[in-house]
Amino acid sequence: MKIESSSDAAAAQRFRIGYAFAPKKEQSFIQPSLLDHASQNGIDFVPISITDSSSEEEAAEALIQQGPFHCIIHKLYGHRWNHQLKQYSSKYPQTLILDPPDSIERLHNRVSMLQVVSAIKLNSQFNISVSVPKQVVLQTPQSPDSIHNNTNDGAVEFPVIAKPLLANGSAKSHEMYLVFDPKGLQTLLPTNTTTSASTQPILLQQFVNHGEVVFKVYVIGEYVQCVKRSSLPDISEQQLTASEGQVLRFSQISNSPQPQEEDEHGLGLAHDPHEMPPSDFVEELARGIRLGLKLNFFNFDVIRDSGNPHSYFVIDINYFPGYAKLPSYEQVLTNFLLALLTTPTQKDHQLEPATTEEEEEEEEKEESDHDHLGDGEGGGDASLLP
């Protein structure tokens, strides 16, 4: 008789993973290579149909009818979707929701998303400090006096990056500006309410010279991958003076490949800006952020101070980034899901619907009747029953 190993058992069982993404995200992430690799390893990805034409309760029921799933992965936001997930989970509580909406919500605010960094205690052996650049939130519209008070109390120093406080994935939330001085900021912020958009809070994040390099750290559970990308150039005192009143608009930090080390971007810096940060440090930082945020799918941007190779800053955290850009992302994601779904803490993968109170009472009655039968026929010893 052949005894199945745990890996054989896992391979014999198929897992149904529901996914819910906006069309653009689905197109980039759900690649044929991912579907093929996952299928060969016992995972079937199933698209979740989302409709906006029905009521909240009807939409929630539609999600329930598409189940059950062993796991749901998603990148949809808003009360309606959160309600659907909540109703689904009440019916199938053993389905893993990756990630919980309450945890994702923290990343929608550029202040709350970075608060986790201050709570991380790094191993002293790294001799590295990690923090967040100085920040201040401006409510708009702003008067010139109010702008002056908010930027001259030591909270931030120019130049600054001006970003919408809300990071909800919309095109508006990616509108960012490099602001060189208070005069430029006054041209950016309206001093009277002209449009509804002008009333949105703005985050001013102090710009830190970082050698034109940003390190993007991708996280899938315990898997961590750090890559280099080009970023904004350093700003000298002479450039700052020459750029009086200027505002530089950019949609997002470039994803272009990092220039080679023979380029002259690193001249005059305290260290080579292209040198990757220590892998142990990156993994510990990623673990701290993952546990602090209670998230499995995210990436974060880290920069290194041009003047101090031991000083790093976390400047942004994004939920469910473009994993398809990573080599072998198909294998990484599949391995993560298999490890999660086959762990001993996941006791039941049959995904039976949760029983109602009436069903529980009926089950208790049946068990009680069975017990009485056992007592009368065989003294409660099941081995004596016919």
Check whether 174 is labelled as a binding-site residue.
Answer: yes
Q: Which helix (H) or strand (E) holds 25?
A: helix 23-29
- Are 257 and 59 in contact, with CB atoms under 8 Å apart? no
Check whether 263 is labelled as a binding-site residue.
Answer: no
Check whether 247 is labelled as a binding-site residue.
Answer: no
Check whether 283 is labelled as a binding-site residue.
Answer: no
Check whether 209 is labelled as a binding-site residue.
Answer: yes
Check whether 208 is labelled as a binding-site residue.
Answer: yes
Check whether 65 is labelled as a binding-site residue.
Answer: no
Check whether 170 is labelled as a binding-site residue.
Answer: no
- Are 141 and 190 in contact, with CB atoms under 8 Å apart? yes
- Identify which of 201, 174, 175, 217 has the alpha carbon closest to the alpha carbon of residue 304: 217
Check whether 330 is labelled as a binding-site residue.
Answer: no
Check whether 212 is labelled as a binding-site residue.
Answer: yes
- Identify which of 61, 75, 208, 221 has the alpha carbon closest to the alpha carbon of residue 133: 208
How far is the C-alpha of 372 from the C-alpha of 386, rounded, in Å? 15
List, in sequence order, every residue forming a beta bridge with 138; answer none if it has no partner: 202
Q: Which residue has the tokens 């080679």?
A: 260
Q: Is the dihedral of CA 321, 314, 287, 294 positive or negative?
A: negative
Q: Three-class SS of residue 71?
A: strand
Put the strands of the sheet holding 129-131 in their side by side order: 129-131, 311-319, 297-304, 213-220, 223-230
- Are 134 and 206 in contact, with CB atoms under 8 Å apart? yes
Check whether 205 is labelled as a binding-site residue.
Answer: yes
Check whether 75 is labelled as a binding-site residue.
Answer: yes
Check whether 216 is labelled as a binding-site residue.
Answer: yes
Check whether 372 is labelled as a binding-site residue.
Answer: no
Check whether 239 is labelled as a binding-site residue.
Answer: no
Torsion angle in degrees (nearest 10) through CA of 8, 324, 281, 120: -90
Check whether 280 is labelled as a binding-site residue.
Answer: no
Detail the residues annotated as belonging to a binding site for 1D-myo-inositol 1,3,4-trisphosphate: 25, 75, 174, 216, 318, 322
- Sequence ranges of the binding site for ATP: 110, 163, 205-216, 231
Specify binding-site residues.
25, 75, 110, 163, 174, 205-216, 231, 301, 316, 318, 322
Binding-site positions for Mg(2+): 301, 316, 318
